[in-house]
Structure 1
């Protein structure tokens, strides 16, 4: 490719980009169309312009929309990150999707998942005693929004409304100090702390789980010397790290926080007769709607 040809392409692409920006500024959605009459140079210009601007591109009867494809991808990543309690990552990808899309259906889904992101984060961080009072207005706002999302079909609206009902039941259980629900919340907080490498915080949440389920843990520990040792060392470790009691002469040998969490999950699974981590994820997530 000669330098002259490169220069012509560069100039033409720049002009095409300016045209696309101008049309978008005037609330239009320009589509670049490749026809059989286009020269090789024209085809290259249109493809490069579409790629750089994320503009829809039509070649004969086939349409391509790079920006919308990226928006769908970022929406999907945002959903998965939310259900893994990676709230910042989720919001980053949802925000990207909002910028990339002009599709009103995708825009409504992005807006919904942004709301769900804030709600789920607030639930996991909530003070249980004030959870219903503080979170009820957020639930109400999301319900009203879902009813206004006119591009969702009725089944999809109902799907998300039912998820909100289940989650609000969980919030009510927190306020009522239902032990299993409080334990689910703490396990989620522990998992988030581990993802953020906040190991002291993770161990504190684990210790709170122990205190909530102390009788059951003690019963099992009385039959399991390894567990008894783990719990003693955890208490001593937290005493040293938090300064809540006099410093001990020797630091206890303690398993890594992730290993401790796994031990606790096994115990909770035995106590509640359900895979406790999976149940926590099931409660504190928003599975996407699947049309039948």
Structure 2
């Protein structure tokens, strides 16, 4: 009977809420906890509130800038941290038994993985068949560099003491759409025509002062964006690009992620204006990982791939001018 009671208690524990609460207590911030966990701040807040209701006690004293665990919360947070630490160590031990020493674990954002990295990995595999690549995707751009992967490909500004942070590549910004949107009832000929089309947006989660969004492009080009007919937002860049390819609206293209679709004609540039993105891609890895021969092979390879893409010219714009008539 004691065993059954304990089992039921374990099964009923709100594990997601416990993990969210521990992150809040450790960071003293709901937003920083959300960034670590790769979820929205509201989701973390809901998890903590649900845990407090489940226990019948307040666990966090919420402040305007920082949040602090209550005495009960501090005890619970320590217990969770201790338990998760032991679980993590055990899982690492079990996982390492199966992991081949030739495996290189790469962490990056899903959009970058699907559009840019995956199509190129065959060349690395052909050049280095003795190495295996394992890709883990981080749900938010800033969280890729916070994993225990051998190498992370991080998008946006970053400071990580004790890690090597190397620039990989920058990007240019410009509107893109399916060729069909240049024709039809409201063909894209000037920026005013954007008022008749759907604006496809990328949902960025970053602390950077500037983001590569529509507003940034308009500000840098000196153009005034009309109010779009509607907007559609996606949390992953590969979905943004796919929506544009399928004719779902006009997206703000980021050169590394749309170049292939532009070259094969699935996307076109309706306007000529191009601006440099305020963000770029970085390679992030522990200092000792950079001395590992297999990791060095991948680092040198991906830097060469990025360098080669920098010399590929964008196809010319097709359509009208972005300037108002």
Per the normalisation by structure 2, the TM-score is 0.25
Between structures 1 and 2, the one with greater helix share: 1
**Does 1 or 2 have the higher relative contact order (CA < 8 Å, sep 6+)?**
2
TM-score by length of 1: 0.27
More strand by share: 2
Rg larger in structure: 1
